[in-house]
Structure 1
Amino acid sequence: MIDLINFSAVPVFILIFVRIAAFFVTLPLFSYSTIPTPFKIGFTFFLALIMYYTVDAADVPVDETYLLLLVKEVMVGLLIGLLAYIILSAVQTAGGFIDFQMGFAIANVIDPQTGAQSPLTGQYFYTIALLFLLSVNGHHLLIDGIYYSYNLIPVETFIPFEDGALAEFVIETFNQMFVIAFQMAIPIVGCLFLVDVALGIIARTVPQLNVFVVGLPLKIFVSFAAILVFLSLYVVLVERLFSTMFTAMRNLMHLFGGA
């Protein structure tokens, strides 16, 4: 049995395994704590085993540069997955804007997936976005992304960094994320702003009416009605968000590959 094992292929397999494992550590949906750790390790192992026979990788020399290659693979996997997570966080950012205007900002809940505090509306939008991602087989595209990353970033090469290219790319990506979050939140926030203006006029014209008692339930009712009306718009924006996420992942791979 030992004679059948090609020990010269072990260093390449470890590099492939490390990149995929680091990718799944930060990738949305795959990195959640509700997924058992043995399943993550097993899925990563068999996916790396399949990719080993399809990726055109030369023999990696086991010397002092091998540790640097391991660090490079960890960085590539972590950054690609983290980029996808950051862009998808635009949904929760938009929910945070809406919750602040609705008065739900004091009622943040613990997200069981990440263990961090999450706004109520943001968690609702985020669940819809994940279900939409699964319905269009977006998780297959994410796996395809890490597979085709070996065409742009081979395991035996290092990352060529250009001066300011990575910083400019990160700034542009954050800009796109906040623009989409603003587009998702502006219909609800705009409606609530008009409600605030109306309540302010009522408070000046009818001083006997306690607007603090009437305002909060009124704003919640208007928010739910606006969410129901603009829900189809959110699906379009989520589709654009996924397109932006896949494009940003591809551009980051081109940047790491020196293309």
Structure 2
Amino acid sequence: MNELIPHLTVFLLVLVRVSAFFVTVPFFSYRTIPPQVKITLALVLAWIMYYTIDVEPLVFNDEYILLVMKEALVGLLLGLMGYIIMSAIQIAGSFIDFQMGFAIANIIDPQTGAQSPLIGQFFNMLALLFLLAIDGHHMILNGIYYSYQFLPMDQFPSFASESLPKFIMTTFTAVFAIAFQMAAPVVATLFLVDLALGITAKTVPQLNIFVVGFPIKIGVSFLVMFTMMAVMIQVIQKLITIMIYGIRDLMAILGGG
């Protein structure tokens, strides 16, 4: 019976990191998932991970409070890194919606509860389904499991590393580059459509270009997105790969590697 009941101080530290990770990481932090399911999953996963961690029982003192805060911070940072990288989909959707004229038709994002672009939400659901299809949620769980190899429970993260600012800037650059790659085909095509509509408005002044141009831009946008869907899937796959490697690299940097 004693083997089934974990030591409370060690189990609590594992539970804090896993729970904080579920607060910000994509897919597991969605508000549409009931809180009871999240809590149950965090408890079961922390209980399983407890038996794989070789740590001596800790004493509840002032240093233990700092360890709890450290575990919460580590879990939040790892999940936030994944969320920042996946936010490139929302950025690409904002670019496309602005050109299509859908910027005024925002909808509620189930993950954050805030308004998000319509096309960005479509790409977000597509990325979520693709993440589940390639077992990406299992890779996310592997990330929090192997985080103890980079960041042991009794070790504080190294925020003074020189490579941390460089890694953050590189990640943000990659996020905007991928967002531009996803939005470039539609945005470039709509720019040419706007140019053609402008020439038509000057050539035929009697034509109400605002009434004609709006459905033309929507139809051309959907046609281009349907044609480039295979490329979009490849970019989403690249984005998920960058997210997994980004979480791993952040763990290595915080661990002093």
Query: If the TM-score is normalised by the length of the shorter chain, which range does it land in?
Result: over 0.9
Q: 1:221 aligns with which of 219, 232, 246?
A: 219
Answering whether residue 85 of structure 2 is matched by residue 83 of structure 1, we say no
CA distances 1:169-213 after superposition (whole Å, capped 9, x unpaired): 222111111100000000000000000110111111121212111
Corresponding position of 1:206: 204
User: Which letter does structure 1 place at the counterpart of 2:137?
Assistant: H
TM-score by length of 1: 0.95
Residue number in structure 2 paired with 1:27: 25
Contact 1:58 1:156 (C-alpha < 8 Å) held by counterparts: no
Aligned to 1:185: 183
- When the two chains are superposed, the root-mean-square deviation of aligned CA atoms in Å is 1.6
Aligned partner letter, 1:237? V
1:95–1:125: 8 Å Cα contact kept in structure 2? yes
Indicate the larger mover: 161-170 or 146-155. Answer: 161-170
Deviations along 1:106-127, one digit per CA (max 9) or x if unpaired, are 1111123421101110001110
Q: Could you give the per-residue CA deviations for residues 19-70 of structure 1, whole angstroms, max 9, x where no partner exists? A: 0000001111111111111111111011001000012223334321111111
In structure 2, runs of 5+ residues without a counterpart are none
User: Residue type of the partner of 1:226?
Assistant: V
Q: C-alpha distance in 2, partners of 1:160/1:17?
A: 22
2:155 corresponding residue in structure 1? 157
Amino acid in structure 2 at the alignment position of 1:24: F
The CA distance in 1 between the partners of 2:42 and 2:5, in whole Å, is 20
Distance 1:54 1:90 in 2: 35
1:87-236 mapped onto 2 (5 Å cutoff): 87-236=85-234
Q: Report if aligned partners of 1:57, 1:154 keep a CA contact under 8 Å in 2.
A: no
Choose 28-37 or 160-169, whichever is displaced more: 160-169
| In structure 1, distance between residues paired with 2:242 and 2:83 | 12
| Count of aligned pairs between the two proteins | 257
Shift in Å at residue 168 of structure 1? 2.4
In the alignment, what sits opposite 2:254? Answer: 256
After superposition, the C-alpha distances for 1:81-102 in whole angstroms (9 at most, x for unaligned) are 0110111111111011000000
| Displacement of 1:164 | 4.5
Query: Aligned AA for 1:162?
Result: A
Asked if the contact 1:8/1:59 (under 8 Å) is kept, the reply is no
Q: Check the 8 A contact 2:6/2:50 in 1, yes or no.
A: no
2:10 alignment partner, one of 6, 9, 12: 12
Distance in 1 between residues matched to 2:28 and 2:56, nearest whole Å: 29
Tell me if the contact between 2:17 and 2:72 (Cα under 8 Å) persists in the aligned partners. yes
- Structure 2: distance between partners of 1:179 and 1:23: 26
TM-score, reference length from structure 2: 0.96
Worse-matched range after superposition: 68-77 or 110-119: 110-119
Q: Distance in 1 between matches of 2:5 and 2:33?
A: 32
Corresponding letter in the other structure for 1:134? L
Structure 1 residue aligned with 2:46: 48
Per-residue deviation, 1:8:
8.3
Give the 3 Å change call, closer, same or farther, for CA 211–80 of structure 1 in structure 2: same
